[in-house]
């Protein structure tokens, strides 16, 4: 089992598979006042950058679960490189039903809330692994400005306007689920560029190396159209943030 190949290609050079830069990830880690030995669970952990750098910087221990074989392997290599392989563990598996045997202090899902069928379902899933008084981290897009039409929403790669909320509405939705929002760190347009624009060179290099691959035509089209679409829509309309939540 694996994720669609296109992501393993377009994000193969990414350490962070969401619109956060390393400094924003570090800001989030510092903002949570993590104590050494804190246990962190990361569902859809990607290439493991959050767990590995927080293990190095804050002495946490962690488990990451991800469906991409490539990203999970990159996460293990990153842990070795940062000298934290004894603190973190990466499992190649579907995170949709993953509940940890021992309760954790922080349970996170950054940029993959479809694993729980949306934000509410993912919070429920994470809560099953969390100790009382622990913190849930949700990384999720929101509308910086509401699209006037469904076509604009789809140009932002959303299924519909209703798929995302505005930032105030997203914060209110956490409250309605019975959670206090206790911290947040937001992406900005520059950090979005590091996620999106950083894929274009990867795509171009892959195309040069794999001109006859079955995905070559799709990737050629993507590279030719995506920068303009990104600048006109995604960059203007979509925000992204990580929200720290504690149950009331
Ligand atoms: N949280 C990581 C990755 C976010 S990108 C980061 O911020 O860098 C979304 C991730 O979800 C990808 O790594 C993808 O492989 C993973 N993924 C998608 N479906 C999944 C599933 N059902 N179970 C586990 N991981 C999944």
Question: The domain containing residue 94 runs over which residues?
Answer: 5-148+160-188+239-247
Does residue 17 have its Cβ closer than 6 Å to ligand 1?
Answer: yes
| Residue 201, domain member (yes or no) | no
Model pLDDT for residues 108-167, shown as the tens digit of each residue: 999 999 999 999 999 999 999 999 999 999 999 999 999 999 999 999 999 999 999 999
Chain centroid, CA 248 distance in Å:
25
Model pLDDT for residues 3-40, shown as the tens digit of each residue: 889 998 999 999 999 999 999 999 999 999 999 999 99
| Residue 30, domain member (yes or no) | yes
Q: Residue 231: what pLDDT?
A: 98
| Residue 75, domain member (yes or no) | yes
Does residue 112 have its Cβ closer than 6 Å to ligand 1?
Answer: yes
With a CB cutoff of 8 Å and minimum separation 6, the contacts of 204 are: 223
Cα 90 to averaged position of ligand 1 atoms, centre (Å): 12
Ligand 1 atom closest to residue 71's alpha carbon, by position in its atom list: 13
Model pLDDT for residues 48-107, shown as the tens digit of each residue: 999 999 999 999 999 999 999 999 999 999 999 999 999 999 999 999 999 999 999 999
Q: pLDDT exceeding 70 applies to what percent of the chain?
A: 100
CA–CA separation, 202 and 206 (whole Å): 6
| Residue 125, domain member (yes or no) | yes
Chain centroid, CA 221 distance in Å:
25
Q: Which two tokens stand for residue 115?
A: 């694993």
With a CB cutoff of 8 Å and minimum separation 6, the contacts of 167 are: 142, 143, 144, 186, 239, 241
Does residue 18 have its Cβ closer than 6 Å to ligand 1?
Answer: yes
Q: Tell me the whole-structure pTM to 2 decimals.
A: 0.97
Is a pLDDT exceeding 90 seen at residue 169? yes
Q: How would residue 221 be classed by pLDDT, with cut points 50, 70 and 90? A: very high
CA angle, 240 then 246 then 247, to 5°? 125
Number of domains the chain contains: 1
| Residue 234, domain member (yes or no) | no
Does residue 66 have its Cβ closer than 6 Å to ligand 1?
Answer: yes
Cα 126 to averaged position of ligand 1 atoms, centre (Å): 15
Report the CATH number at residue 43: 3.40.50.150
| Residue 113, domain member (yes or no) | yes
């Amino acid at each position: 089992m694996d994720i669609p190949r296109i992501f393993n290609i377009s994000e193969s050079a990414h350490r962070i598979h969401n619109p956060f830069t390393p400094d924003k990830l570090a800001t989030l880690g510092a903002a949570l006042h993590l104590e050494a030995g804190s246990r962190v669970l990361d569902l859809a952990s990607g290439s493991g950058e959050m767990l590995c750098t927080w293990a190095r910087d804050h002495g946490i221990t962690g488990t990451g679960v991800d469906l991409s074989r490539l990203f999970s392997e990159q996460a293990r290599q990153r842990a070795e490189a940062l000298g934290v392989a004894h603190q973190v563990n990466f499992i190649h598996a579907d995170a949709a039903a993953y509940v940890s045997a021992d309760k954790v202090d922080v349970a996170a899902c950054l940029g993959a809330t479809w694993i729980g069928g949306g934000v509410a379902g993912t919070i429920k899933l994470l809560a099953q692994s969390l100790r009382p008084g622990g913190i849930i981290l949700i990384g999720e897009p929101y509308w910086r400005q509401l699209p006037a039409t469904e076509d604009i929403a789809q140009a932002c790669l959303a299924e519909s306007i209703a798929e995302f909320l505005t930032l105030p509405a997203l914060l209110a939705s956490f409250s309605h689920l019975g959670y206090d929002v206790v911290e947040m760190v937001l992406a900005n347009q520059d950090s979005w560029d590091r996620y999106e624009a950083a894929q274009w060179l990867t795509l171009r290099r892959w195309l040069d190396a794999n001109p006859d691959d079955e995905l070559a035509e799709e990737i050629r089209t993507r590279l030719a159209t995506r920068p303009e679409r990104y600048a006109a829509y995604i960059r203007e309309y979509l925000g992204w943030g990580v929200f720290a939540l504690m149950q009331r």
